[in-house]
Structure 1
Amino acid sequence: VFSAHVHNVFVGFHENTIFYSVPSMAFVRPEYAELATVGPGDEYGRNDTAKLGFYLVRVYADRHEVLPVRTYGAGKLAAGFPQVEPYQLVDRPTKMLGVTLRRGWGRRVELAADGLDEFTRKEAYRDWLLWALWELGVTGLRVPFADLTYADVRQRLADFVRLGFMFTVYSLGVPDAATMATMGANGRLLQNWELIFPEHALAQVKEAVKRARAVFSGQLFVAPVVPIKEDEEEHGRSFQHFAAHGFSGRRAGINESWQAVIDSLPTDIGLTFRVSPWDEPAATLHEIDQQSNRAKLINLQLPRLDEGVRFNDDHKLQSFIVDAYHAGRTMANTIIFIDTFVDSDRGYYPRNGLLDRRFNPRPAFYALKRAALGK
């Protein structure tokens, strides 16, 4: 069911029916600006032109496909964006990178009892994220395992699966009894499970894989905990507060201790690698491709500067993501996830993503889609 007059995009389910609230071509209901965790845009959220548009719906014998088109009020992208009319980007790419969702995404947000709803606080999802995922053609989503443990988030995850999305979860250490029970009950919703281990827990990897396999029939990956920023060899090792995970793209990225563990695992257990924010993405992906014949999951960390300095070079970000996309297309048996998809504008290592904090596309968003469509 498609409906209008809400002046905002939402998607809901009731039994076997999907309900779509379509975007407006005129203005956005300003109270929905509350769904973003930053201040409202122009006219207190009413003139948020990136949220104006329409849906093109393709109907098939057994399914339908929603293709969002942003009109930006005038039908043209602002300066700094790849200059192509939005309607020329309607098609969905046949192959697209996945996305890591760092921020909460699966819970409703309470809106103030005000304006057109004087007597109640209505609740709404941040489905601007869903619009962007559809528009870009993303189907692979990567989230913490904890998302499965909350009933409301788990239900929204199941909704997304019904919409065609495929989920990867990641967890730390050997799965405990609660984790095993959760996965046993809900593993059918997932495609992949990453098991992550600090160096001191390598002896537990085989046991963790054994336990995971007992309750999960999808693809398993293993990964090390690593510093977010690798030390230069000549300067020795230094303490770092910030952790990442995944094997390095460097040729010596898998040390002897880890290699011994990997060699003891069944050949269908995959490995998680990472492209760090300071890497040259195409070269690093090529090196990763040479390191193992196992299934590979790659965490593509978008550029950063330092823990207190924001990375906001949209031109460099466009080059980074397009180079990574083209390099990734040549890799077999590999899944790549973008990290960071939405801006990280507070806390450590602030940086631009492909969407701003109102979930509106940045130039790199359209640069990636153009690359995927061969335009």
Structure 2
Amino acid sequence: MFDRSFLPPADLEFVVMTDTHYMLDPGGERVEFESRRRQAARAAHALRLVASLDAAFVVHLGDLIQEFPESHGFAESLDQALAQLDACGVQPRLVAGNHDVGDKPDPTMPTDWVTSETLKSFHDRFGQSWSSWNMAGCHFVVLNSQIMNGPLPEVAIQERWLEADLAAHTGMPIFLFMHLSLFLVSPSEQGLGHYDNIDEPARSWLVDLIQRHHVQMVVSGHTHFSFFNRIGEARSRVVPSTAFTRPGFCEVFSSAPPPERGRDDVFKLGFLLVRVRDGRASVHLVRTDGAMTGPTISVQRLVARTSQDLPDSPLGITMRHPLSPATEVPIAWQSTIRQPVRNDYPLLGCLELGVRYARIPAADLSNASQRERLATLRDEGVSLTATWIWSERSPLVTEAAEHRDGLDGIEVQYPGALLPNAACLRAITRSAQETRLPVALSPLLPRETVPGKQHARTRTGYHLAELPALDQYLGEHGVRVDRVLCRVDGGQSPWSAIGQTHDLLPLGQIAAIEWAVEFEDADPRRQVSRAVEAMAATATVSGARLFLEPLVDLDRTMDAPPGLLDRLCNPRTVFHVVRTLNTILFSEPQTWKPAAGSSIPDATTFVLESADARLLVMLPDDPERAAIRLSATDLRAAVADARPERVRVVHLETGTIRSLDPRALDSITVDGATVLLVERGKAQASKLPDA
């Protein structure tokens, strides 16, 4: 079901899933939420996907069933859930959750605490609820978070065991699994009355062990909502459910609540595929979207690379919103306090897209919480450029020097004119000298007339035609900049606008060009076309970067461009397109060149060539009629002279891929934005001119 051919090699792959909440069929009985009727089928679909990955092992982080240990039907539900696992071909290592053994020892919890009886029942059936094993040079540890801070004698037994186990495996990459998280936002957050974390003193004890033994990753479940933290060197991931989302957490979104008051936000459901190479883990979210069935076996889902594995990608994001907004969940069942909560979906979305660059306002550097989140983003492979609006009183030089260890670039935005004055040029030179950071330049031009708008707008970025005069001006003042930001205006074709760079470069004082492309059309197909054109064109320009704007919808401003994510931070169609195309174009270091190609009826096409492959990118001309038919003649023309070793069709909007026999090409029909990927054998590629 999955195509991992674009991923780097791995020493080990494993899957982490959680909170499948198998539920007995309620039949005609009334249920509080209709989505409960779909939980078991959603679990079955997710398990079939997991089985198809054929990973070395699977960890289930707890809450295998919906019933609690004290509930009527608990035993029957558990039997059926285990039968479902067998039927789907998955035998996971089971972590104890509150639905499996009981709630944590907090007098405010809504169900019974773990008892000696429920714990013994779990141990008798599944083995001890804390354990460890080694594989591929890594050490894996399962803990029972439900008993921590409690009165049972097993608490001390688990503590002594863990301390000895970690001490015996110091120096190995260590992965730790448990149901509850140590915290969601801050190590100092309240535990009593908090439904979703581990209270003191166990929290500090475990944090100390994680830091002392250099644990690489801590993975937990329970919240049905994704979070990403750092505990010292360790990455802490909270895995989403495959069954449903939890109401309350959607308070972090500036939107109406998702269906069922936040309980059925299906586009947040999924599990993790973790790939380990040289002791370093890359984490891939496999979205299940609440589905209960999947595509045919002839179509595979492409597993895309994440930011840390795409060093050659030019993809960037402009942070119009804060990276990680925070709020408090109101006092409401199941918690009896206001729970601090943070929206980590924009950050996680950047990693899933494979973003390598982010432009942030310099003011974010003065905000401790945002600065910490930006540092986390940077640790995952995303370079940060801070933007300052220039004035004579600008703190550019001092602030850039203060934060240089957390930055990868500086952008100076000069207001009101295309050419910066002498004072600004001196500050640019001084900043570059003192920080050793690359400097980009951009104009900030108010009062730009935009057709169809009552009021003039502000333009950030140059037009390509303005660069020769800027380059000459910089040369006259003896100033060189590493980059300038250019903008593709609304109504312009990104393929045409960015492609004109070939006629301009090289420049004397400007080393490279960055492009900002805003999504202006709410129509999903036109948004997709704009993104595909921009990415394809940028791939052909050496050293260029592409900033897509915005990451999250702007829907309550004078202009309302849709984002890659909607206001619930769920992916729009264009998100999947960008994620998939980013992996196809930039998984390997290669030079793409625009090439001529035959036309396809009812489609706009672009052809890219590299030493190893030819890409035919197809976009439907009519967004209302997205089907594109390729005849056998069209396909033969597309592969002509390419000497293909294999031919694959990638549907960008769904991220699915299928193979064609290059020796027997027949007509096909594709829907929406599509890439025909013609791959040459290495020996053939080496014979190509300019390869």
For Structure 1 versus Structure 2, the TM-score category normalised by the shorter chain is 0.7 to 0.9
Counterpart of 2:499 (choices 286, 293, 305) is 286
Change in 2 beyond 3 A, CA 1:368/1:106: closer
The within-5 A match list for 1:123-142 is 123-142=340-359
Q: 1:73 & 1:338 partners in 2: Cα distance?
A: 28
Q: Distance in 1 between matches of 2:471 and 2:415?
A: 11
C-alpha distance 205-185 of structure 1, shift in aligned 2 (>3 A): closer
Return the match for 2:426 from 187, 191, 207. 207
Query: Which residue matches 2:580?
Result: 370
Once the two structures are superposed, residues 276-315 of structure 1 have per-residue CA deviations (whole angstroms, 9 ceiling, x without a partner) of 22211011101234334333343423242xxxxxx31111
1:289–1:245 CA distance, 2 compared to 1 (3 A): farther
State, as a whole percentage, how many aligned pairs show the same letter: 26
Normalising by the residue count of structure 2, what TM-score does the alignment of the two structures yield? 0.48
Q: State the shift of 1:28 in Å.
A: 0.7
Q: Which SS does the other structure have where 1:342 is aligned?
A: coil
* Shift in alpha-carbon separation, 1:264–1:333, aligned structure 2, 3 A: farther
Picking from 12, 36, 41, the partner of 2:258 is 41
Q: Structure 1's 348 and 100: CA in aligned 2 closer, same or farther, altered over 3 A? A: same
Q: Which letter does structure 1 place at the counterpart of 2:442?
A: A
Specify the alignment match of 2:436 in structure 1. Answer: 217
The more displaced of 20-29 and 220-229 is: 220-229
Greater C-alpha radius of gyration: 2
Aligned with 2:400: secondary structure?
helix
Shift of 1:255: 7.0
**Which residue number corresponds to residue 370 of structure 2?**
153
Over 3 Å counting, the alpha-carbon distance change for 1:260 and 1:182 in structure 2 is closer
CA distance in 2, matches of 1:38, 1:76: 29
Q: 1:341 to 1:127 in 2, by over 3 A?
A: same
Alignment match, 2:595: none
Question: Which secondary structure does the structure 2 equivalent of 1:326 belong to?
Answer: helix
- Quick one: distance in 1 between partners of 2:577 and 2:294? 12
Q: Residues 248 and 262 of structure 2 are in contact (CA less than 8 Å); yes or no, is this contact kept in structure 1? A: yes
**Root mean square deviation of aligned Cα:** 2.8
The change in CA–CA distance for 1:203 and 1:91 in structure 2 (over 3 A counts) is: closer
Amino acid at match of 1:45: G
Question: Shift in Å at residue 25 of structure 1?
Answer: 0.5
- 23 and 257 in structure 1: CA distance in 2 versus 1, 3 angstrom threshold: closer
Q: Determine the C-alpha separation between the residues in 2 that align with 1:114 and 1:275.
A: 47
Q: Does the aligned pair in 1 maintain the 2:485–2:513 contact within 8 Å? A: yes
CA contact (8 A) 1:144 1:169 kept: yes
The 3 A distance-change label for structure 1 pair 77 and 333 is farther
SS at match of 2:350: helix
The one-letter code matched in structure 2 to 1:217 is R
Shift, 1:136, TM fit: 1.4
**Is 1:326 aligned to 2:536, yes or no?**
yes
**Change over 3 Å in CA distance of 1:175–1:137 after alignment to 2:** farther
User: What is the DSSP-based 3-state SS (H/G/I as helix, E as strand, rest coil) of the residue aligned with 1:222?
Assistant: strand
- Where do 1:1-375 residues align within 5 Å? 1-74=218-291, 87-92=301-306, 94=310, 95=313, 97-118=315-336, 120-174=337-391, 176=393, 178-199=395-416, 201-227=420-446, 241-249=456-464, 252-254=465-467, 256=469, 259-261=472-474, 263-293=476-506, 294-304=510-520, 311-374=521-584, 375=650
Structure 1 letter corresponding to 2:267: A
1:87 shift after superposition:
4.2
Shift of 1:358: 0.6
* Helix, strand or coil at the partner of 1:295: strand
Which deviations, in whole Å up to 9, do the C-alpha atoms of 1:201-228 show, x marking residues without a partner? Answer: 5333321212312432121011212358
- Residues 483, 514 of structure 2: 8 Å contact kept: no
1:77–1:108 CA distance, 2 compared to 1 (3 A): farther
Structure 1 residues 257 and 96: alpha-carbon distance in aligned structure 2, compared to 1, 3 A threshold: closer
Q: Which segments of 5 or more consecutive residues in structure 2 lack a partner in the other structure?
A: 1-217, 585-649, 651-691
Asked whether the equivalents of residues 410 and 440 of structure 2 are also in contact (C-alpha less than 8 Å), the reply is yes
Whether the 8 Å CA contact 2:519–2:549 is kept in 1: the answer is no
CA change 1:267–1:121 in 2 (3 A) is: same
CA distance in 1, matches of 2:454, 2:223: 52
Higher RCO (CA 8 Å, separation ≥ 6 residues): 1
**Partner SS for 2:527:** helix
Please tell me the residue identity of whatever aligns with 1:328: T
CA distance 1:76–1:277, shift in 2 (3 Å):
farther
Count of aligned pairs: 356
d(CA) in 1 for partners of 2:288 and 2:492? 35
Q: Offset of 1:171 from its aligned partner? A: 1.0
Matched letter for residue 247 of structure 1: Y
* Structure 2 residue aligned with 1:81: none
Q: Which amino acid aligns with 1:221?
A: A
Q: Deviations over 1:177-213 (max 9, x none)?
A: 7443332221121111111112455333321212312
Return the TM-score normalized by structure 1: 0.86
Higher alpha-carbon deviation: 353-362 or 59-68: 59-68
Mapped to 1, the partners of 2:393 and 2:434 lie a distance apart of 12
Q: 1:19 to 1:370 in 2, by over 3 A?
A: closer
Gaps of 5+ in 1: 79-83, 233-237, 305-310
Output the CA distance in 2 between the equivalents of 1:76 and 1:242: 47
- Pair 23,363 (structure 1): closer, same or farther in 2 beyond 3 Å: same
Deviates more, 1:324-333 or 1:218-227: 218-227
Q: Give CA-to-partner distance per residue, 1:137-156, whole Å, 9 cap, x none.
A: 11321111111112221122
Query: Partners of 2:579 and 2:527 in 1: how far apart?
Result: 14
Partners of 2:274 and 2:470 in 1: how far apart? Answer: 52
Higher mean Cα deviation, 240-249 or 29-38?
240-249
Cα separation, 1, equivalents of 2:267 and 2:503: 41
| C-alpha distance 91-107 of structure 1, shift in aligned 2 (>3 A) | closer
Residue 321 of structure 1 aligns with an amino acid whose one-letter code is A
Letter paired with 2:501: I
Question: Do the aligned residues in 2 keep the contact of 1:76 with 1:86 (CA within 8 Å)?
Answer: no
- Segment of structure 1 superposing worse, 171-180 or 345-354: 171-180
Secondary structure of 1:244 counterpart = strand
State the one-letter code of the partner of 2:575.
Answer: F
Determine helix, strand or coil for the equivalent of 1:69: strand
| Structure 1 stretch displaced more, 41-50 or 89-98 | 89-98
